[in-house]
Structure 1
Amino acid sequence: MIKKLACGAIILASSLFASNEVNVYSQRHYDSDKILYKQFEKETGIKVNAVTAKAEELVAKLAIEGANTPADVLITADIGNLYQAKQRKLLQPIESKILNENIPENLRDNDNNWFALTKRARVFVYNPQKVNPADLGDYFSLTQEKFKGRVVTRSSTAAYNKSLLASIIAHYGEDKALEFSKGLVNNFPYSPKGADKDQIVAVGAGDADIAIVNTYYLGVMLNSKNKKDLEIAKSLKIFFPAQETTGTHMNISGAGVTYYAKNKDNAIKFIEFLSSVEAQEIFAEANQEFPANPKAKSSEIVSSWGTFKEDKIQLNEVGKYTKEAVEIATKANWK
């Protein structure tokens, strides 16, 4: 009888411990996220256990672990990664009135498998001494002969460029996407290298005149204590493409509840918390990302760029063309 009671106590203790935690696999590695984890713990009493790694590593880990995974939440950047996680049945649909109210329809999965946490605009950053903004327009404008040897961006294998190209396929078809890719490659001064910040630095150094990057990289540089980064960022201008057509391509970081989540209720509460105005404004201020929740305010730096037309395409429509985007980039010799 005593042994039975002891076993029961152990099971109960384990159950109570599990009910007071949420296990997170996250690609995000920012201080803002750590702040929010602590805030969530303080407000709910639910402990956040986070593992950070690259998106492909986390997705592979979830797939290998299967029903034995400890993860309750997957957080990753890029719609392609979220789309693939859903296709591989690593996420599950959830019902949340709070999330449906906080996150616009085009920024969440149509089956509620994932929800955006932040937005990133894919824009042009240019040297105003060398580029007339009147010569810029949609993404295709960078394929003009006048920009030969003047445009840089990172590799086509980078998630952000795969999704940009996938969005062009979704809007215009594969032939136009191939035309864009070939034209862009023709205007590179050298083979793509480095991350988005490296492209901005290249423009600042005079190695190129225009870079295709995500806005928050420039925002972080403008908020930097590094004098060199700040000097470069202040010398450049930002241009939001496709204002007369589809609107500027928007990518996201987002979250979903894992398929085998052991703490599903806590996972939903956690994502709901991250979608709140308070949490969204911490994301925005710390990382210079756009809030996914339209009620939240952007940072002062981001707000200074003004308003612009966003591409409001349902992001699942972008995610499903990721494979084709890779094939087209390969055909165009976009390294």
Structure 2
Amino acid sequence: MTEQPIASVASAITAFVGGAPAGPVGEPRLVTSMSHFNRLFGGLWRESHLGYSVRDFFRHGGRYAVIVRTDPAEDVTRSQVNALELIRERPDGMPGGDPVGLLVVPPDGAETHGWTEPSLDVLREAVITAEQIKALAVLDAPAAWAGTTSPAGGAVDVLESLRSSFAAMYFPQLVEIDPLTGESLAISASGAVAGIIARTDAQYGPWNMPAGTATTALDVDGLTVALGQGRMEMLAQLRINGIRSFPGTGPLVWGARVLGTDPEWPYVPTRRMATFLEQSISRGLRWATFEQNAPPLWTRVCTRVEEFLHSLFRMGAFPGTKPDQGFYVRCDPSTMTQEDLADGVLRLDVGFAPTRPAEFIALRIAIPVARPA
């Protein structure tokens, strides 16, 4: 394999799991527009939320969606879990080659004018899947949290089993006009939020915050709950991201916290930036697989990784006025043991500063290379 500069992987390919009136069952298919989804999976369908979530994804800036249609002959929960297991078992088999970066499991399988929200078991499976494939599970808070006293009533027990830096939760639902009936319809926000994250990645990069006034107002008619400052603070304490309306702007995503409580990974862009760097560097160094694990290779690896990170620095990915305030790269005897050398494993340390100059998060990346003769 020829040595080449490291290129950025796609960071916001979004996997959707759900029911559809047509299309292959249990077979991931890449779609690039709503019309493409309509042709393959039959379009909007009142017996499943999937089509509405995919429509919101593309309306809000999404570009690439991987659809896994659930089996209509199975129980809804079982079919959703099976679809998530498929994504987990075939992380390198996703259409298009690039990794899935976002994961959405919208409500599914219910009678007209009402959908069944994913069970807690399904949400747990979504988080496990996201952790294993290093994607972000974009979750919807239960609609029942829209009570008059607290939108997060009864949330603590549910959230404790979902705590992860690879998951983010959003509240409340969106209100849109259903093209099939002309009536107002409550739509889970995860599809739209995934689209906003994808749009932010395309415009500014995955290191930017997909929230606030920098994201244009959601293209919707309203929200199921008007969040005031008190409710927003309550949601923030639970690490749930609120969607809030403001005069003159319409609804905005007003938070980018992950559900996990690890202080090293407090926000969506921090977690996703680490994944983006790991995946881009690992893929970009595949040429090293047949090289000898020795100082000449270490020098070339450092040079390629530094070139890549410096290009991101020029784009504003890291804070500081000098590159060494934003990142560092090490690949030398200090990053590898004698066992690594004997086993043909090259290890490099990459540090990046997500918010403040020279306050680094350290990543250790392993590359298989040729064993000593």
More helix by share: 1
Structure number with greater CO (CA < 8 Å, separation at least 6) is 1
Verify same fold: TM over 0.5.
Answer: no
In the superposition, the TM-score normalised over structure 1's length comes to: 0.24
In the superposition, the TM-score normalised over structure 2's length comes to: 0.23
